[in-house]
Amino acid sequence: MKVSTTNLKKFKRKLKKTLDENRYVHTMGVMYTAACLAMRYECDISKAQTAGILHDCAKCIPDDTKVQLCRKYNIHMTDLEKSNPFLLHAKLGAFFAMHKYKVTDKEVISAILNHTTGKPDMSLLDKIIYVADYIEPGREKAPNLSEIRKLAFIDIDRAVYRILDDTLAYLEHSDGDVEPLTRKAYEYYRDYYNNLENHDLNGSADLKSAEHE
């Protein structure tokens, strides 16, 4: 997928009309951070830019309008989303990316759709947008931000796991509602790293045993 500079300029013009100033600045930060991560991990830069610039395209729609639009276009809403309609911006954003911004690439749509919750076994582009949304330069208050910014360019999977871990810890500490998909994503990456560590420990034990034979 190749997105021309002209298309990005068109996206910017549209977004300036629909996003408030802070959200627009954040969006540009995510787009540029996603492009940097894409270069680091040899992901398609055009896809990263497109998903980055459009990830919050539905963010500034009033919450009651988000619900109305989801009903109008038959977009499924969970009970948690109905009671916290700000969460719907990712689903609506994916819908708008397809129908308003004419994006047809399934990887880009998936990255927009899952950028707030994450999901188990994310694609590289999913992870890039998920992480870029957390670490872009305008972020200031996220937990362990400096450490995760460094980690993102060393091991993006571990960065994803740290973000999920910190997000769940924050929500549970503040009695916030946890999106089930976020918990599933956390459990997936937790189990992945637990299995990896157990494998390394078993391998070390086997090596020591062999050395003493």
pLDDT digits (tens, 9 = 90+) for 169-204: 999 889 888 999 999 999 999 999 988 877 665 655
CA 1/CA 85 separation, integer angstroms: 32
The CATH number that applies at residue 147 is 1.10.3210.10
Name the CA dihedral angle for 134, 182, 69, 61, rounded to a multiple of 10 degrees.
Answer: -20
Give φ, ψ of 138 to 5 degrees.
Answer: -80, -15
CA 165/CA 64 separation, integer angstroms: 30
Domain that holds residue 60: 5-211
Place of tokens 């980055």: 52
pLDDT of 1: 56
pLDDT digits (tens, 9 = 90+) for 60-110: 999 999 999 999 999 999 999 999 999 999 999 999 999 999 999 999 999
CA 211/CA 213 separation, integer angstroms: 6
149: left (phi over 0), alpha (psi -120 to 50) or beta: alpha
Structural domains counted in the chain: 1
CA 92/CA 73 separation, integer angstroms: 9
Specify the pTM: 0.90
